Amino acid sequence: MHLLYVDESGDPGISQYSSKHFILTGLIVSQDNWDKNLRNLKEFRKALKANYGFNQRTEIHANELIRISGNEDYKKFTKTQRIGILKEYARQIPIIFNDSKFINICIDKSQHKSHTEIINLAWGRLIERYDTYLKKVAKDNGVIISDDTDGKKVMQLLRKMRIYNPVKSHFYDGPYNAPSDNIIEDVFQRNSKDSYFIQTVDVVTQLLYRKEYPKGSLKKYGLERQFDLLHPVLLLEASRNDPFGIVRK
């Protein structure tokens, strides 16, 4: 069995108050490596405690590490320290998850017209890539575990894709049906504060966001370059048109 832990950055809404992007990242973990990955994460959190005084029970929320909006636990750290924690996480992810892969979907919302269209596009691409990995690489079944999301829409999409999923053919005109049937059950939802795995995915989504939409005020910290460190554990096959395997459309 394989597990896909999913988190997002931005929102799928269409309004003047919405983000310009919607990012989904999934971390594929084999059940055979799950215990080892968790032990490695716990050791990493112990190191953060020793080096920064960052409590092991404190949730890592990457956006708040960059810009505090209400997390009282973060206020005792300077901005340089908080970003240092994020950068250390980026360096450790390829070591902790050297036998895992990350799938990244990055949607420019200006090209789309509705909340549902964005949800279906982003989640559809993620589900397709995960199912392909399960069929061709893992030769196994898998489940999806996500932080709080639009569960009903994703449930309906996944159920539909198990039966009918038209995919463009490289060999002849028109689509063919490629059901995403190696994914079992509906998406399981898990609060990120209770999962080191989902907190890790949150970090990756934020690093991708900072790469795609760099801010001048943060360039002195080199945040826009941290996603590149993850190259060894990215599912590059997810998009052969992108050097980091980022799916954009």
pLDDT averages per 10-residue partition of the chain, 249 residues? 94 72 95 97 96 93 89 89 96 97 92 80 96 97 90 91 84 81 95 95 97 89 96 97 95
Architecture of domain 2-238: 2-Layer Sandwich (3.30)
Residue with tokens 């017209």: 113
User: What's residue 94's pLDDT?
Assistant: 98
Q: Is 104 helix (H, G, I), strand (E, B) or coil?
A: strand
Q: What is the pLDDT of residue 131?
A: 97
Question: Quick one: which of 165, 171, 184 has its CA closest to 125?
Answer: 165
Answer for the pair 6, 144: CB distance below 8 angstroms, yes or no. Answer: yes
Write down the pLDDT at residue 171. Answer: 66
The whole-number pLDDT of residue 125 equals: 96
What ranges do the domains of the chain cover?
2-238
pTM value surpassing 0.85: yes
Whole-angstrom distance, CA of residue 82 vs CA of residue 68? 10
Q: What is the reported pLDDT for 170? A: 67
Q: How many other CB atoms are found less than 10 A from the CB of residue 51?
A: 12
- How distant, in Å, are the alpha carbons of 39, 72, 101 from that of 35? 6, 31, 16
pLDDT at residue 34, rounded to an integer = 98
Q: What is the pLDDT of residue 116?
A: 78
CA-CA distances (angstroms) from residue 83 to 44, 63, 87, 154?
16, 10, 6, 33
* Per-residue confidence (pLDDT) for residue 68, from 0 to 100: 87
Residue 172: predicted pLDDT: 66
